[in-house]
Amino acid sequence: MNSNYYKLLLLGGAVRLYFSQTSLAPLIGNRVEFATPLNSFKRLQEGVFLLQQGVDPYRGDLVHESPLLLKALSGILINYAQVLPLLYILLDLCTATLLYLLGITFVKQKLQQQKGECEDYAKDTEELQYNDEDKSHIAELVLLAYLFNPLTIMSCIGLTSTVLSNLLLALILYSMVKRQLLICTVLLAFETVRNLYPFVLIAPLILLFARRSVPMGIAIFMIFVTSCFAVAGANFLVMNSWNYLDGTLGFIFFFRDLQPNIGLFWYFFTEMFEHFRTMFLITFQLNATVLYLVPLSLKLRKEPLLLATVLIALMAVFRAYPSLGDVGFYLALLPLWRRCWKFMAHGFVVFTFFLITLSMMGAFWHLWIYAGSANANFYFGATLAFSTGQIFLITDLLFAHVKREFCLYNGQKIMINGEEARILLE
């Protein structure tokens, strides 16, 4: 870790600390773009209070955090509530550090991989290959992308539990590149019992550790399932009841709260006839989980970390209760694929989508809820466009990766009948 790392980390912490002391912090904590029924700090407070009073917080439909976290945070919330913003900032800085170390380790592994493959590379592909400078440069880009992204900053100062989810995801990815199977599997099980959707990350784990060994793949899956049951059992010991399963995983799957957010569920299920709900609920949940899992796993079987990145991005788009903090996390992973950026053709379009739609969300929410001069269609239109921009970004990254792989072995200039040909993916 060089001096730039410490400077950036201190600056990122200072920015978060400054904004956490302003009136922006409670405002962000109430914004539907950042605070959802799953990650809202107010709901977490309510759950801790009910737990301390000996009341089951999952009897109602307000608390949806896991019992283990409620128990872990109860002492801090009750006795040291004033230092809670500092705790969230420290957790966010830990996430940034893990992503920085992830970047360094990832580039080292890429350089080692290239040593065995470089003989097969075309001559004009030096700019597409990782080099020694990337070890520090890419890691710093990842650090910058996380520490100074307004989405992650505001998610932190709003005290959303997305900060905890981002930390767990960073730990999972770092454990992946360090080849620590047991730690990675246990962490994934814990996050799966909390938020359901991360279970799809078992696919890159199996691809990374099984190495085409079917028995090993089955063993990893069984370890994951066993870990999930162990975490569920630990939650049961805290509550002495299984009610939390319906209040957490059941709440997510059945989508009981139609509060608006940046996702695609709420508007559709608000407008839909009730007797169609089950069919479309299953369809939407399949789209958010396993629909893309097999084809992406087959295509990216040699790049487990890229597969994990894409799956995390798709979760942020299609999950039932997404927040902008989820988007900020996967955006910080994009610098890992800096050598693909040359082939990403929609950067300006995606940036424009993000800039305009994020600006429109706040304006349309005010017009709809406060001014009464708009309706839900306005706000959903902005969130739909935002999701479209994210899909453009994800597909652009996938196409760029495929083009880079092709050019590494075939050269960047393909000549047909003496003329340079364009590489198109259809």
H/E run at residue 420: strand 419-421
- pLDDT tens-digit readout, 248-296: 999 999 999 999 999 999 999 988 888 889 999 999 999 998 999 999 9
List Cα–Cα distances, 142 to 107, 266, 309, in angstroms: 12, 32, 13
- On the question of pLDDT at 377 being above 60, the answer is yes
Task: Summarize pLDDT for 187-244 with one digit per residue, the tens.
Answer: 999 999 999 999 999 999 999 998 778 889 999 999 999 999 999 999 999 988 898 9
How far apart CA 20 and CA 14 sit, in angstroms, is 10
Of residues 421 and 5, the one with the higher pLDDT is: 5
Q: State whether residue 425 is helix, strand or coil.
A: coil
Q: H-type helices in 21-80, by residue range?
A: 24-29, 41-52, 67-79
pLDDT the model gives residue 296: 95
Considering only CA atoms, which of 111, 48, 133, 30 is closest in space to residue 84? 48
Distance, C-alpha 166 to centroid of its chain: 7
Chain mean pLDDT for the chain: 91
Q: What is the dihedral of CA 328, 333, 339, 343, to 10 degrees?
A: -40
Which helix H or strand E contains 186, and what residues bound it?
helix 181-195
Distance CA 187, CA 306 (A): 19
Structure tokens at 236: 């049961």
Percentage of the chain exceeding pLDDT 90: 72
Q: Which residues pair with 420 in a beta bridge?
A: 415
Give the pairing of strands 414-416 and 419-421.
Answer: antiparallel
Evaluate if residue 425 carries a pLDDT over 60.
no
Residues contacting 137, CB < 8 A, separation 6+? none
Residue 318 has pLDDT above 60, yes or no: yes
Mean pLDDT value of segment 49-62: 88
